[in-house]
């Protein structure tokens, strides 16, 4: 085959090692009648490894949403007069009823996982996805995400029983949420802003005592600018937030250790035991002693 013929070849599906399941119409009707899953369900799911010449165009769009998740190689998605370049560890959700065209690179063909899904909750999940105002999202490779896909696929391979379909679609909603809410699920990986860095610093030095200007200096900011940024993101002042972290840590000590309140105060940098107790009661609604006695029982 000459190079011209190779580049003009288009393949919708049929790749070595591919996985693909499409719900038959009669099964889809059962899903739509199922009160538990009719608001969010898949219609098709697949994996195309090393999908050379993969090329799919829908001039009138698709009635379902389509998730494309690339783990190897690269390709492009053309939609709304934009061309989005998909590469390893990126994903894109194509909206329903929108014309689009996606294809694999001929030089570095992609390996992609894909899911077609729909329903009332699918509309809401897509809305959350678009609120992030980006054309393409990059996420860290997580083997658990691949395992979840394989679990869903394995169940569908074995059965279209109503209970199995319920398990599949409940799992699917959780699976797709790991894409849409990837920042919230793993904030330490994605958040490299000043406030997140400062919170990480607080947690690392939970037993220290810091004035606000100490924390601001650690981030190379003025006290006023740092305080404004911190309150805008967390709704609390740096001092309030740091105290909350300390109280949360004290709850762990009260529950999992035999340390007394005086020892916990010393561990967390509280010089005044009575101040600690007042702060604990304000935030937790009970005294440290009552909290310890209640949870130990």
Mean pLDDT of 131-153: 84
Last residue of a domain, one of 165, 187, 209: 187
**If you compute the radius of gyration of the chain from its CA atoms, what whole number of angstroms results?**
26
* pLDDT for residue 212: 93
- Token reading at 251: 């709850």
Number of domains making up the chain: 2
The verdict on 48 and 99 lying in the same domain is yes
Cα-based distances in Å from 245 to 36, 208, 240: 38, 12, 9
Q: What percent of the chain has pLDDT over 90?
A: 57
Q: Which residues of 155-175 are buried (b: 16+ CB within 10 A; e: fewer)?
A: bbeeebeeeebebbbebbbeb
Note down the domain range covering 238. 191-296
pLDDT band with cut points at 50, 70 and 90 for residue 11? confident
The verdict on 230 and 100 lying in the same domain is no
pLDDT of residue 2 exceeding 70: no
pLDDT of residue 154 exceeding 90: yes
pLDDT tens profile 244-261: 899 988 988 888 788 888
CATH number of the domain where residue 121 is located = 2.60.120.280
Contacts of 244 (CB under 8 A, 6+ apart): 236, 283
The verdict on 174 and 27 lying in the same domain is yes
pLDDT band with cut points at 50, 70 and 90 for residue 188? low
d(CA 122, CA 174): 12
Cα-based distances in Å from 95 to 25, 81, 83, 252: 22, 14, 15, 44
The verdict on 58 and 153 lying in the same domain is yes
Last residue of a domain, one of 138, 166, 187: 187
Note the pTM of the prediction, 2 decimals: 0.64
- Token reading at 60: 């009138």
The verdict on 167 and 200 lying in the same domain is no
User: Is 269:229 a contact under the CB 8 Å cutoff?
Assistant: no
pLDDT of residue 190 exceeding 60: no
Mean pLDDT of 179-200: 74
pLDDT band with cut points at 50, 70 and 90 for residue 8? low
Strands of 216-268, DSSP E: none
Last residue of a domain, one of 143, 170, 187: 187
pLDDT tens profile 99-126: 999 999 999 999 999 999 999 999 999 9
The verdict on 55 and 166 lying in the same domain is yes
The verdict on 165 and 227 lying in the same domain is no
Cα-based distances in Å from 200 to 27, 195, 241, 247, 253: 49, 9, 12, 16, 20
The verdict on 90 and 223 lying in the same domain is no
User: Is 49:111 a contact under the CB 8 Å cutoff?
Assistant: yes
What is 153-187 written as a DSSP string? HHHHHH---HHHHHHHHHHHHHHHHHHHTHHHHSH
The verdict on 99 and 195 lying in the same domain is no
Mean pLDDT of 25-32: 94
CATH number of the domain where residue 275 is located = 1.10.10.60
The verdict on 202 and 148 lying in the same domain is no
pLDDT tens profile 62-103: 999 999 999 999 999 999 889 999 998 899 999 999 999 999
The verdict on 161 and 280 lying in the same domain is no
The verdict on 108 and 236 lying in the same domain is no
């Amino acid at each position: 085959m000459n190079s011209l013929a190779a580049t003009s070849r288009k393949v919708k599906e049929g790749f070595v090692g591919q996985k693909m399941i499409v719900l038959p119409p009669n099964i889809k009707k059962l899903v739509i009648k199922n009160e538990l899953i009719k608001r969010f369900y898949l219609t098709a799911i697949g994996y195309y490894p090393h999908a050379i010449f993969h090329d799919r165009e829908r001039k009138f769009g698709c009635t379902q949403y389509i998730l494309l998740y690339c783990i190897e190689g690269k390709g492009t998605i053309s939609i709304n007069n934009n061309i989005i370049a998909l590469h390893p560890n990126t994903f894109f959700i194509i909206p329903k009823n929108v014309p689009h065209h996606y294809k694999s690179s001929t030089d570095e063909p992609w390996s992609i996982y894909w899911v077609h899904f729909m329903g009332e909750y699918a509309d809401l999940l897509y809305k959350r996805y678009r609120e992030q105002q980006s054309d393409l999202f990059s996420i860290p490779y997580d083997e658990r995400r691949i395992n979840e896909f394989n679990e869903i696929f394995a169940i569908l391979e074995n059965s279209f029983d109503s209970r199995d379909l319920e398990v599949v679609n409940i799992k699917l909603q959780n699976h797709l949420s790991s894409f849409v809410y990837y920042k919230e699920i793993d904030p330490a990986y994605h958040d490299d802003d000043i406030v997140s860095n400062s919170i990480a610093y607080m947690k690392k030095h939970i037993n220290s005592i810091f004035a606000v200007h100490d924390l601001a200096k650690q981030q190379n900011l003025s006290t006023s600018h740092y305080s404004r940024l911190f309150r805008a993101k967390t709704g609390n002042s740096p001092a309030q937030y740091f105290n909350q972290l300390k109280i949360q840590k004290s709850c762990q000590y009260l529950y999992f250790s035999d340390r007394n309140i005086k020892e916990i105060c010393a561990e967390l940098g509280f010089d005044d035991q009575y101040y600690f107790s007042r702060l604990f009661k304000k935030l937790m609604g009970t005294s440290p002693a009552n909290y310890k006695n209640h949870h130990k029982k």
